[in-house]
């Protein structure tokens, strides 16, 4: 069941699955029902209901009765993104989140920005264009080395 549930693509970041993002928290059998705990990437994520329905539908299609339960605690963190998920993001031009606490930002500057490596050329000579991208979980950056714009999956 885990393989089926975790194979559902994220509707906003279709290059990764919900398994890659680490939002499928637990799967257990309760009688004849497969109970699946899901933690959204953030509590107001507009894709949460769609993700839950897609997971439930995928498991139901496999011949099992599924029930998805939203679990908000502990809160999801980008540390739960798998290595495979990070590689998929980078391969599709989205800079994966930096490990929390290791942003390379100058802590002596109040508004310092982390050094985000370009997903195309790995240069850290990048600048933030906008704190908000196409989705709330991404920011827009540009690389000064290859001049390409890119999204950065924010560290949460």
pLDDT tens for the chain, 156 residues long, are 899 999 999 998 899 999 999 999 999 999 999 999 999 998 888 899 999 999 999 999 999 999 999 999 999 999 999 999 999 999 999 999 998 765 555 455 456 677 899 999 999 999 999 998 888 889 999 999 999 999 999 988
pLDDT (0 to 100) of residue 26: 96
Identify each DSSP E strand in 1-156 by its residue range: 24-30, 33-38, 65-70, 94-95, 126-130, 138-143, 149-153
**What's phi and psi for 37, nearest 5 deg?**
-90, 130
Q: Model pTM?
A: 0.87
Residue 13's nearest CA partner among 78, 74, 85, 116 is 85
Q: 140 has which bridge partners? A: 130, 151
Query: Would you say domain 2-70 falls under CATH 3.30.300.130?
Result: yes
> Distance between CA 144 and CA 39 in Å, rounded?
36
Assess contact for 51 and 38: CB atoms under 8 A. Answer: yes
Residues forming CATH 3.30.300.130 domain(s) in the chain = 2-70
> Distance between CA 52 and CA 108 in Å, rounded?
42
Cα dihedral 119, 123, 129, 132 in deg (nearest 10)? 40
């Amino acid at each position: 069941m885990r393989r089926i549930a975790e194979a559902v693509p994220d509707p906003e970041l279709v290059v990764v699955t919900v398994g890659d993002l680490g939002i499928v928290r637990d799967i257990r059998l309760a009688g004849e029902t497969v109970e699946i705990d899901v933690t959204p990437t953030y509590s107001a994520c507009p894709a949460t209901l769609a993700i839950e329905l897609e997971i439930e539908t995928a498991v139901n299609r496999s011949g099992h009765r599924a029930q998805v339960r939203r679990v908000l605690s502990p809160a999801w963190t980008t540390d739960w993104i798998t290595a495979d998920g990070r590689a998929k993001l980078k391969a599709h031009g989205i800079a994966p989140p930096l490990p929390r606490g290791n942003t390379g930002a100058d802590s002596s500057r109040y508004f310092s920005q982390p050094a985000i490596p370009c997903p195309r050329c790995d240069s850290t000579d990048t600048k933030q264009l906008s704190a908000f991208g196409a989705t709330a979980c991404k920011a827009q950056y540009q690389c000064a080395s290859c001049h390409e714009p890119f999204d950065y999956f924010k560290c949460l």
